[in-house]
C-alpha cells in the first residue's frame, strides 16, 4: 500500500513547524509498513488534488493568505469533489481563512490575536486533544465542529472549535497538532487505510 500526501505551499505557509504534522503522519504510516510519498506543491506547480490521498495546508504569514486563496479559486470544485469522495484534507492555523473559499463555513477576523493553550475532546476518538492557538482567525460557524474545548478559543469564541465535513478537518490550532496527539494521527491513519482498501 502506498499513501500519497500533498503538502500545499510549504514555501509560503511555514509559520509554526507546520510540517511536523506530515512527519508525524508519515512516521505512523511507515510504522505500519505503509509506503508514503510526500509531494510539496508550491506556487509554480499545478495542483491536481485527485492525485493525493491526504492533503495538508498550514499557517502562513498574512500577506500570503489572500493570494493563495485566489490561487486556489480555480480548484474549488476539485477540492469539493475530493471532500465529497471522503478523501482526507487537514487545514491548521490561519489556513482555515484560505479554505473559506469552499463556502462551507464563515471566518471571523480578530484584531487582537487569540493566543492560548488548547485542551479538549473530540468525537473522532476517546481521549483528549492538546495544542496551541496563535491566530487572528476563528471559524464563525458553530455547526459540524471538530473539538469541544475546555481551554482555548472556539468558533465564534464558544467552546466548540473547528470544522469537519467527511474527512475534511479544519482547525485554528497551529503547528504540529498530529505530533502532539497520537490518537488523532492514528485516527487519520486508519481512515487513510480504510479509504485505500475501498479504492482497491
Give the interface with other proteins as residue ranges (CB under 8 A): 10-12, 14-20, 23-24, 27, 42, 44, 61-63, 113, 115-117, 132, 134, 136, 174-176, 179-180
For residues 142 and 162, give the distance between their C-alpha atoms in angstroms, rounded to a whole number.
8
Q: For other proteins, give the closer residue by CB, 14 or 148.
A: 14
For residues 153 and 96, give the distance between their C-alpha atoms in angstroms, rounded to a whole number.
14
For the CB of residue 16, give the shortest distance to other proteins in the complex, in Å.
4
Q: How many residues does the chain have?
A: 200
Q: For other proteins, give the closer residue by CB, 48 or 117.
A: 117
Cβ–Cβ under 8 Å, residues 56 and 39: no
For residues 150 and 88, give the distance between their C-alpha atoms in angstroms, rounded to a whole number.
26
For the CB of residue 186, give the shortest distance to other proteins in the complex, in Å.
14
For residues 65 and 71, give the distance between their C-alpha atoms in angstroms, rounded to a whole number.
10
For the CB of residue 170, give the shortest distance to other proteins in the complex, in Å.
18
Q: For other proteins, give the closer residue by CB, 20 or 80.
A: 20
Q: For other proteins, give the closer residue by CB, 11 or 109.
A: 11
For the CB of residue 17, give the shortest distance to other proteins in the complex, in Å.
3
For the CB of residue 95, give the shortest distance to other proteins in the complex, in Å.
14
Please choose, from the candidates 108, 102, 57, 91, the residue with its C-alpha nearest in 3D space to the C-alpha of residue 171. 91
Q: For other proteins, give the closer residue by CB, 46 or 199.
A: 46
Q: Kind of pairing, strands 54-57 and 2-8?
A: parallel
Residue 172 is classified by DSSP as: S
Amino acid at each position: 500500500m502506498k499513501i500519497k500526501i500533498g503538502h500545499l505551499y510549504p514555501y509560503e505557509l511555514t509559520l509554526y513547524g507546520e510540517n511536523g504534522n506530515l512527519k508525524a503522519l508519515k512516521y505512523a504510516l511507515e510504522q505500519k509498513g505503509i509506503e508514503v510519498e510526500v509531494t510539496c506543491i508550491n506556487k509554480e506547480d499545478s495542483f491536481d488534488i485527485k492525485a493525493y490521498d491526504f492533503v495538508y495546508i498550514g499557517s502562513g504569514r498574512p500577506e500570503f493568505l489572500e493570494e493563495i486563496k485566489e490561487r486556489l479559486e480555480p480548484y474549488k470544485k476539485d477540492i469539493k469533489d475530493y471532500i465529497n469522495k471522503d478523501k482526507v484534507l487537514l487545514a491548521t492555523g490561519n489556513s482555515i481563512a484560505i479554505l473559506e473559499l469552499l463556502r462551507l463555513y464563515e471566518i471571523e477576523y480578530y484584531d487582537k490575536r487569540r493566543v492560548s493553550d488548547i485542551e479538549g475532546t473530540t468525537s473522532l476518538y476517546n481521549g483528549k486533544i492538546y495544542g496551541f492557538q496563535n491566530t487572528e482567525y476563528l471559524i464563525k460557524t458553530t455547526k459540524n465542529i471538530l473539538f469541544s474545548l475546555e481551554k482555548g478559543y472556539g468558533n465564534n469564541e464558544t467552546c466548540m472549535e473547528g470544522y469537519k465535513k467527511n474527512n475534511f478537518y479544519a482547525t485554528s490550532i497551529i503547528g504540529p497538532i498530529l505530533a502532539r496527539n497520537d490518537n488523532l494521527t492514528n485516527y487519520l491513519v486508519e481512515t487513510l487505510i480504510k479509504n485505500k482498501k475501498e479504492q482497491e
